[in-house]
Chain A
Amino acid sequence: MFSRRLIIRAAQFSTSQSKKTEKLWENPWKHALHQQEQPRTSAKVLEVPIDWSYVERLMPIEIIPDVPKHETYPTPSGWTPPTEAAKTHSYYVRRRRDHMLPLYLERKRDLLNEKTLDFDYVELVVLRNVDGNIFDCENELRQFVEAQLDHPIATHVDELKGRIKIKGAPRKIIEQFLYSKGF
């Protein structure tokens, strides 16, 4: 074995010596093709039947899956799927792609507080993905929230984007409103 390897090395050495006369740029194709050639090994392929299901469930999820059926709603986390009642209103609020309500929190700078010389911030809740008559939605939302809170709230409607911004109401109550309407 040792001797054979020696011979091979010697042979390679000798070829490289003889090739030295030919420059690299005279025939670049030859050089490139030589590099691309892989040492070919022929092995027999034997396929073993493996149950990949345990591996597959470890793979990352590409697309958000549908929600599995639960026995009772709301689920322990408080989540409820949209119901048929949602389609009876003059507006419709579409769920997010992850099946949650399209409620977002926003923090906006208010006036400078002259006593502490710090900026005050207001907490806004943004309701998105509203289709249909968005002003009806805003009216009903306002009535629902004000009945619960006993103080007026401020809202801003962006019809083109289908968004309602609410100031002065916690997210929880708006969530209750949406669930009560079946969205």
Chain B
Amino acid sequence: MFLSQLMRQSGASASAARNLWRKSENPFISTPQAWLTDLEQVEEKKRGIIDLHPDVFRVAPRLDILHRNLTWQKVYRNVQMTKMLTKAEMPGGGRKPWPQKKTGRAHVGSIRQPEFIHGGFANGVRGPRTWFYMLPDAIRLQGLCVALTLKHAQDDLHIVENMQDLQNGDPKFWQDLCESRNWGYSVLMIDDSDVISGGLAEAQEQLAWLNCMPVYGLNCYSIIKYDTVVLSKNALEKIEQRLLQHLHRAKPLNLKYRYQDYKEKILNESRAEENPNMPPIV
């Protein structure tokens, strides 16, 4: 009621009505809404209000699950390449340096024993060691929903009509735009297409705090890292569709991800890639 009054005052045209797929009949969860704006001019003009799906943008703020996601994203790609050599792997040391007894010295069999200077290591770091693990799908899905909910609840999630082929690519314009709309220190733009052209593409090349990302790159870490997340309308549709599809999927949410199942796919990933500067793999 309040939002619709506001909408009438600001002369917004688009209606909030949106067909929300499998929306719960829960009377305690109101449908979250967001203003629809555009990036054509510096001032924020409100074009309308958009309904957001409560299963994605109004979930319980489970910070523990968000934390699990953030930790996983930081940790899973760590690889420790340090390998400390044992006495067997050090060069030399095959000869007994002095007789076992009657010299008054220690009974040693090799100059590479761990007691020696420049000897091998007894209990050293034995890399390569990996911290890779996969979070269950349910946790990753809920983590994304929690992150989006938090951004929306803190008024850091904005929805724009279009990001492609914008007229103005001047960095000053974009700085003014983000400053006048109070978008904070860093802004992440998310569009459904992975190719972006026009003004935004020119500006984001020059501005380090402004970044673009396709929908398939959406992740908890980036959502939390940037002060403001801006979704295009198409991206919003796609995100909701993809997340809901997985939240209602018939397969279980605790699928196993084993390397042997994905080995062929991973190894053949670069088959279609052709770089004009690099010779092809023969």
Binding site for B on A (CB under 8 A): 24, 28-29, 31-32, 35, 60-64, 82, 86-87, 91-92, 94, 97, 131-132, 160-162
Complex-state Cα separation, A54 to B26, whole angstroms: 38
The answer to whether B60 touches A63 (Cβ under 8 A) is no
Neighbouring B residues of A32 by C-beta, 8 Å: 280-282
The answer to whether B250 touches A64 (Cβ under 8 A) is yes
**B56-72 interface code vs A (CB 8 A; 1 in, 0 out):** 00001110000000000
Neighbouring A residues of B60 by C-beta, 8 Å: 160-162
Instruction: Closest A residue to B25 by CB, please name it.
Output: A87
Contact of B248 among A28, A87, A92, A97 (CB under 8 A): A97
The answer to whether A63 touches B248 (Cβ under 8 A) is yes
Q: How many residues of B contact A (CB 8 A)?
A: 18
Complex-state Cα separation, A162 to B25, whole angstroms: 17
Contact of B250 among A62, A82, A94, A162 (CB under 8 A): A62
With contacts A62-B249, A97-B247, A162-B60 taken as known, whether A82 is within 8 angstroms of B25 at the C-beta atoms is yes
Q: Does B10 contact A (CB under 8 A)?
A: no
Neighbouring A residues of B26 by C-beta, 8 Å: 92, 94, 131
Neighbouring B residues of A28 by C-beta, 8 Å: 279-280, 282
CB contacts under 8 Å to A, within B8-36, are 24-29
The answer to whether A60 touches B250 (Cβ under 8 A) is yes
CB contacts under 8 Å to A, within B236-259, are 245, 247-250
Complex-state Cα separation, A86 to B25, whole angstroms: 9
Neighbouring B residues of A35 by C-beta, 8 Å: 282
Binding site for A on B (CB under 8 A): 24-29, 60-62, 245, 247-250, 279-282
Instruction: Closest A residue to B279 by CB, please name it.
Output: A28
Instruction: Closest A residue to B65 by CB, please name it.
Output: A161
Neighbouring B residues of A161 by C-beta, 8 Å: 60, 62
Secondary structure dominating the interface of B: loop
The answer to whether A24 touches B282 (Cβ under 8 A) is yes
Neighbouring A residues of B25 by C-beta, 8 Å: 82, 86-87
Complex-state Cα separation, A161 to B60, whole angstroms: 7
Complex-state Cα separation, A97 to B248, whole angstroms: 6
Contact of B29 among A29, A82, A131 (CB under 8 A): A131
Complex-state Cα separation, A122 to B139, whole angstroms: 27
* Residue contacts A-B, CB under 8 angstroms, 18 given: A29-B279, A29-B280, A32-B281, A32-B282, A35-B282, A62-B245, A63-B245, A63-B248, A86-B25, A87-B25, A87-B27, A94-B24, A94-B26, A131-B28, A132-B28, A160-B60, A160-B62, A162-B60
Complex-state Cα separation, A86 to B24, whole angstroms: 12
The 10 closest A-B pairs by CB, nearest first: A32-B280, A132-B28, A131-B28, A28-B279, A61-B250, A87-B27, A92-B26, A64-B250, A31-B282, A97-B248
Complex-state Cα separation, A134 to B68, whole angstroms: 26
Complex-state Cα separation, A64 to B245, whole angstroms: 9
Neighbouring B residues of A60 by C-beta, 8 Å: 250
Neighbouring A residues of B280 by C-beta, 8 Å: 28-29, 32
Neighbouring A residues of B281 by C-beta, 8 Å: 32
**Residue among A35, A62, A63, A91 having the largest count of chain B Cβ atoms under 10 Å:** A63
- Determine how close the nearest CB of chain B comes to the CB of A41; give it in whole angstroms: 23
Neighbouring B residues of A92 by C-beta, 8 Å: 26-28
Complex-state Cα separation, A94 to B157, whole angstroms: 27
Q: Assuming A32-B282, A91-B28, A131-B26, what are 12 further A-B pairs, CB within 8 angstroms?
A: A24-B282, A28-B279, A32-B280, A35-B282, A62-B245, A63-B245, A97-B247, A131-B28, A132-B27, A160-B61, A161-B60, A161-B62
Instruction: Closest B residue to A29 by CB, please name it.
Output: B280
Neighbouring B residues of A64 by C-beta, 8 Å: 248-250
- Determine how close the nearest CB of chain A comes to the CB of B63; give it in whole angstroms: 9
Complex-state Cα separation, A28 to B29, whole angstroms: 62
Neighbouring A residues of B250 by C-beta, 8 Å: 60-64
- Determine how close the nearest CB of chain A comes to the CB of B23; give it in whole angstroms: 11
Neighbouring B residues of A61 by C-beta, 8 Å: 250
- Determine how close the nearest CB of chain A comes to the CB of B280; give it in whole angstroms: 4
